Structure 1
Amino acid sequence: MAGTVLIVDAANVVGSRPDGWWRDRVGAAERLLVALADHATRSGHPALAGDGPNQVVVVLEGQARGARDECGPGLTVVRAERDGDGCIVEQVRERAGQDVLVVTSDRELQGRVVAEGAQVQGAGWLLRQLDACGPAVDQR
């Protein structure tokens, strides 16, 4: 049986903490990617572990598409050409029949991906997972 595919709405997750991300959207996206990769290698959390059948897909949009994504296996970066939400829905559709968990606090997007068969967790859930594992090394 295939593992969990975690699809992360990066703009929503990054935007959920008022830490100055708006001054450096690329840097904020890169910090999220590093934290996800670091967490996957240290935690063994089934939805975040990048080894084996589990996969983490991070959707970047807007200026954040310029983020470097040299984070290792199990982490896929998708750069939305236009609409990040539409890209996330498409990522869910491409994985029909798989166990998909989308991380977003956007209520409209939550409804769209649930209609496609995905499960949903809010941005706070993911941030708590990352915080529990400790700070990732900042690779700036």
Structure 2
Amino acid sequence: MARVLVVDGANVVGSRPDGWWKDRPGAARRLHERLLVADLAYDEVVLVLEGGAKGGVRAGRDGDVRVVHAKGSGDDEIVAQADRPGDVVTVVTADRMLQARAASKGASSLGPAWLLAELEQ
């Protein structure tokens, strides 16, 4: 049983008005870099990217962080990644509809503020 953290990249990046909209690929890259060096209590971190943010980080695995490029809706990809029977999955998003969809797959949710605080430690 693995502890898995699924990160809604767009929602986390969009939670702070720091100019991310001017450089979506750069914002995704900065989040990815922070996840790579973070000491999170999870066996795997899945960063889901959509739209222009996909240009900032290639899909694939770097250590404990796996980047997934959503082929369609980012929310649909997050729900698919949360569907891991036997694993303990937590989704990071403030989107209540997405939280409910993830919960239907057995995942719990935390907000972007939690993750950003963890990344600042």
TM superposition score normalised by structure 2: 0.94
Structure 1 outlier segments of 4+, above 2 Å: 68-72
CA drift of 1:68 comes to: 2.4
Unpaired runs of at least 5, structure 2: none
Report the identity percentage: 48
Measured against aligned partners, the alpha-carbon deviations of 1:14-64 in whole angstroms (never above 9, x if no partner) come to 00000000000000000000000011xxx3x312xxxxxx00000000000
Distance 1:72 1:98 in 2: 20
For these two proteins, the number of residue pairs brought into alignment is 120
What SS class does the counterpart of residue 125 from structure 1 fall into?
Answer: helix
CA RMSD, aligned part only? 1.4
- Choose from 79, 87, 99 the match for 1:110: 99
1 or 2, which has the higher strand percentage?
Answer: 2
Contact 1:59 1:87 in 2 (8 A): yes
Contact 1:33 1:71 in 2 (8 A): no
Paired position in structure 1 for 2:11: 12
Unpaired runs of at least 5, structure 1: 48-53, 133-140
CA drift of 1:3 comes to: 2.6
- Counterpart amino acid of 1:46? A
Paired position in structure 1 for 2:41: 46
Paired position in structure 1 for 2:110: 121
CA drift of 1:72 comes to: 2.7
Paired position in structure 2 for 1:131: 120
Paired position in structure 2 for 1:76: 66
TM superposition score normalised by structure 1: 0.81
Distance 2:57 2:98 in 1: 26
Distance 1:14 1:71 in 2: 20
Paired position in structure 2 for 1:50: none
